Amino acid sequence: MSLTDLTIHELHERLVRREVSSVEATRAYLERIAAVDERINAFITVDAEGALRQAEAADRRLAAGKGGALTGIPLALKDIFVTEGVRTTCASKILQNFIPPYDGAAAARLKEAGAVLLGKLNMDEFAMGSSNENSAFGAVKNPWNLQCVPGGSSGGSAAAVAARQAAATLGTDTGGSIRQPAAHCGVVGLKPTYGRVSRYGVIAYASSLDQVGPMTRDVEDCALLLQAVAGHDPADSTSVDTPVPDYRAALGGDLKGVRVGLPREYFIEGLDSDVKEAVMGAITVCRELGAEIVEVSLPHTEYAVACYYLVATAEASSNLARYDGVRYGLRVDEGKGLLDMYMKSRAAGFGAEVKRRIMLGTYALSSGYYDAYYLKAQKVRTLIRRDFLEAFEKADVLLTPVAPTTAFGLGEKTADPLQMYLSDIFTIPVNLAGSCALSLPCGFTPSGLPVGLQLVGRPFGEETILRTAHAYEQATDWHRRVAPI
């Protein structure tokens, strides 16, 4: 078995026993990136020098017997996380030469834990997209089939884990951007409860929805990586000051006494038959593990996508106002005055989808339309949130598909934004409700594409979904399949 095939916890054991060094593991990953990334395009920036320096420091720490769960583990970050001295582009031309002067919370916590940061991962520009085709650095290819998308917006983060280019990665999820690419690439992805992980130093898309989370090879790694980044941060006023449980300690055991809810509205026509079959199989496994299966209803599901595209674009139009060519990023200045410079910089710097969202959001917030669109959407959001709270009176965890289809072909949905938006129909409601949810592999199509299973938890119910996912994972072996790249 190659070093790059090990999970975080497996590599950790070898590191603390000094059977392998962090420098060796880091070199193995750098070689793997060099060998496959021309075909995958998961990385925007590889920081080989920085990574090897961090690995040497980790080896000293391990030699002193002071290594923790992540010390010396080669990881990579979506290019939305601000990293000191390492270019951070958000996959946009407008930030293509931006080198941040500080580390955001995610990079800082991982560095404190002694992790090695291999580099920055491709994504949809400003995290807007479901296929990673909206990147100024080119599309990412799915390691299971290079003609297919990896999902988005954390497509590089998912593909890198599947293609063994990093032991694990961090992504962000505003409407499904961790869970949907995790499903399409056959890895585990967790969107924590809003407020669980600091957003300090995460380039903002839609601030009331954005959350940071792990993308890993298995559920145990997911618990470990969440542990490292979860917790209150005074630098993010929306991060919640509640104790962080021991997530790994929550794993183990069967599902006796766990009430698994199936939301009626998520098992609809239009659901791909391969997806349906795999998810049905997962329900059977959960029942055999002792879970009680109950039907629940989330009656406002049909309004979620429309509601999301008002709230998210409104927030995005405001967040993206800061890219004006003045303080950082691209500037196109032909000496024709300030307004001209603003317009030309933004016209040249933003891609088509980002411009579409800025226009939609600006419209929804404009006087005369605000009440009809933005305010209405906020009210619908409350109804969606209530749906979940009611469902959680009958169930401890909800089980659903992650997406209506498996990974689709490159270029298949780029001409029709609405089709693209609908691929997040099962993930978006969870962000609107502010709850947590996990995606893990639950099968493969006959042509070899992975299918994802979504487990949704109560707010701050990460332990329950991790435990449920772990029990399911231990009873199956989907997570052991390796992409053919």
What is the four-CA torsion angle of 199, 202, 206, 211, rounded to 10 degrees? -50
Taking CA atoms, 342 is separated from 322, 328, 335, 350, 359, in Å, by 10, 12, 11, 12, 16
Out of 22, 131, 153, 317, the active site residue is 153
- Which C-beta is closer to ligand GLN: that of 421 or that of 478? 421
Q: Interface with ligand GLN by CB under 6 A: which residues? A: 127-130, 153, 173-177, 205, 312, 424
How far apart are CB 416 and ligand GLN at their closest, in Å? 14
- Which C-beta is closer to ligand GLN: that of 100 or that of 175? 175
CB 439 within 8 A of CB 188: yes
- Which C-beta is closer to ligand GLN: that of 176 or that of 201? 176
3-state secondary structure of 397: strand
Write the burial class of residue 56 (CB in 10 Å: 0-12 exposed, 13-18 middle, 19+ buried): middle
How far apart are CB 428 and ligand GLN at their closest, in Å? 7
What residues form DSSP beta bridges with 293?
260
Out of 21, 22, 78, 120, the active site residue is 78
Kindly state the tokens that stand for 321: 């106002």
- Which C-beta is closer to ligand GLN: that of 6 or that of 430? 430
What residues form DSSP beta bridges with 409?
148
How far apart are CB 149 and ligand GLN at their closest, in Å? 12
Q: What is the 3-state secondary structure (H, E, C) of 24-59?
A: HHHHHHHHHHHHHHHHHCCEEEECHHHHHHHHHHHH
How far apart are CB 448 and ligand GLN at their closest, in Å? 24
d(CA 455, CA 439): 7
- Which C-beta is closer to ligand GLN: that of 177 or that of 227? 177
Cα dihedral sign for 116, 121, 126, 129?
Answer: negative
- Which C-beta is closer to ligand GLN: that of 113 or that of 188? 188
* Known catalytic residue at 92: no
Write the burial class of residue 84 (CB in 10 Å: 0-12 exposed, 13-18 middle, 19+ buried): middle
**DSSP labels for 159-212?**
HHHHTTSSSEEEEEESSSTTHHHHHHHT-EEEEPPTTSB--TTBPPSSTTT-EE
How far apart are CB 169 and ligand GLN at their closest, in Å? 15
CB 483 within 8 A of CB 450: no
* Known catalytic residue at 191: no
How far apart are CB 339 and ligand GLN at their closest, in Å? 29
Q: Please give the span between the terminal C-alpha atoms of the chain, in angstroms, as a whole number.
A: 16
How far apart are CB 221 and ligand GLN at their closest, in Å? 21
3-state secondary structure of 314: helix
Out of 22, 157, 177, 317, the active site residue is 177
- Which C-beta is closer to ligand GLN: that of 167 or that of 425? 425
How far apart are CB 130 and ligand GLN at their closest, in Å? 4
Query: How does strand 397-401 pair with strand 292-296?
Result: unpaired
* Known catalytic residue at 177: yes
Cis preceding linkage at 130, omega within 30: no
CB 15 within 8 A of CB 25: yes
Q: Which active-site residues does the annotation give?
A: 78, 153, 177
